[in-house]
Chains A and B, each alone.
Chain A
């Protein structure tokens, strides 16, 4: 009786071991098939972009392409900054202070992903009721800090990860 049991156990162990090792192999095979759909090395290399901002006058903005999307870089005048900061948070559908949307000591520079947070159209600059941007698709209005003020968009325009490489260059991403 004992010997029979031992035999069964050893047989089960062998089969269990085979199945387990086999399953590990299947997992190992599955990974490359899944991972190949992730951004490839060429895409990853373009994940950051450096922008020369030395030619932008106060009150002007440029648009650059980053990861396939438009990014607005606007150099705001002192008046525009003051106006953006004078807004009460209660008036904002997505409350956020202007100071939180810019880098300390570089308040003039507003860097944001130029994609309307409603359904993805590109808002037009210097338009709308709040002197910022206006999205023609469904009528969202953004202010001089890129925050949503009126219209169907739920959140403020996204601020991407960015940093000042030096006074003339911003690296996005």
Chain B
């Protein structure tokens, strides 16, 4: 992995490093040649690591006080809020932290989709990333059940009931998931156990994700391959560490705004009503970060069809590297693709909005259009645009000035960052 031999400065360091080369690893990470033209959309990987750490630490602390029993869960959360020293703070950091985690992951994913970070040779990084995303959704879903409010209970009921749509074995699987004949105490207990486990699986995948990244190195806004190291790269520390720190601080200010001044605005008031199996809320909605998938699920009148399309909408992302036929990596040089990219973004936002609305009338119609377009983007638009579009000329290096003869002066270094 590393090109030069790193020798620790102290004797003790050398002794230890000979037995477990952690210091060599540290030096590799610190010296790691990173493209010098990375913009702020590249800071979200570091931000996501912070989010994962924050959720794990606050989660472990909450688990010291939370009681995973249907009769006591809601009360134990109130106990944390009212009695545990700084309990309210740790709880609100954890609940809002989940939202911030997803905000960051969506920006991170959309960055990759714009700059072609999923394209060869980074397909495995992309796939590992999607596995992390899937685990995040499962973790968040189970975590939301734990306070045992009305949305916890009914959201769990709706989503676990989907499995009964599987032909032949669906009912058995659902009962097996529940550990009972409906969402009940056994369900809550196992969700608590798995909710504690999954973040550590995510951590393992994150290590693989970064390892896989360090093989080809980071992508960059103009999508060209770089020699490492070169005058086009800078060592990760201190250049990227300080920039990530700056971006992280801005992120933390927004995070703090939610935690301290509006800690419930992203949630649903119904979840402050204790779970009642006999009363269904008027509108069952998941947390905002799951809304687009919820919209897709409800677009299809057939239950199994809805489930297939909902999971399909995530699984199609796995084959994105092979659906996109373009030889040019970054959308900076792909004017036709850019157009469709932004339409896709708006489509996802539209689906999210529809997911929060009742599944009827104009809302349902728009959700259906949004769902159809979502799949069209991957199955039709990407392959076709990649083949048909006339891309702009791609520079040879980051530091090289504007290309001569026929090149568009608008592609001078200054402009492409503004897109």
A residues neighboring B (CB under 8 Å): 32-33, 35-38, 40-43
Contacts and interface: CB of A to CB of B under 8 A. Distances in A.
B89 A32 contact: yes
Given A32-B90, A33-B57, A40 B83 contact: yes
A35 B87 CA distance: 10
Contacts of B65: 36, 40
A33 B60 CA distance: 10
Contacts of B86: 32, 35-36
17 contacts: A32-B85, A33-B57, A33-B61, A33-B90, A35-B85, A36-B64, A36-B85, A36-B86, A36-B87, A36-B90, A38-B85, A40-B65, A40-B79, A40-B85, A41-B82, A41-B84, A41-B85
Main secondary structure of the interface of A (DSSP, over half): helix
A171 to B, nearest CB: 22
Nearest to B62: A36
Contacts of A33: 57, 61, 90
A32 B64 CA distance: 14
A8 B84 CA distance: 47
Interface of B: 57, 61, 64-65, 79, 82-87, 89-90
A36 B84 contact: yes
A59 B86 CA distance: 47
B83 A42 contact: yes
Contacts of A35: 85-86
Given A40-B87, A41-B84, 11 more contacts: A32-B90, A33-B90, A35-B86, A36-B84, A36-B85, A36-B86, A37-B64, A38-B85, A40-B79, A40-B83, A41-B82
B147 to A, nearest CB: 18
A26 to B, nearest CB: 12
Contacts of B90: 32-33, 36
B241 to A, nearest CB: 12
10 closest pairs, A vs B, by CB?
A32-B86, A40-B83, A41-B83, A42-B83, A35-B85, A40-B84, A36-B85, A36-B86, A36-B84, A32-B89
A68 B280 CA distance: 41
Nearest to A38: B85
Most chain A beta-carbon neighbours within 10 Å: one of B61, B79, B85:
B85
Contacts of B57: 33
A37 B64 CA distance: 8
A37 B90 CA distance: 12
Contacts of B89: 32
B174 to A, nearest CB: 37
Contacts of A32: 85-86, 89-90
Contacts of B83: 40-43
A41 B64 CA distance: 15
A27 to B, nearest CB: 14
B85 to A, nearest CB: 5
B62 to A, nearest CB: 9
From B79, B86, B90, name the one whose CB has the most chain A CB atoms within 10 angstroms: B86
A130 B290 CA distance: 72
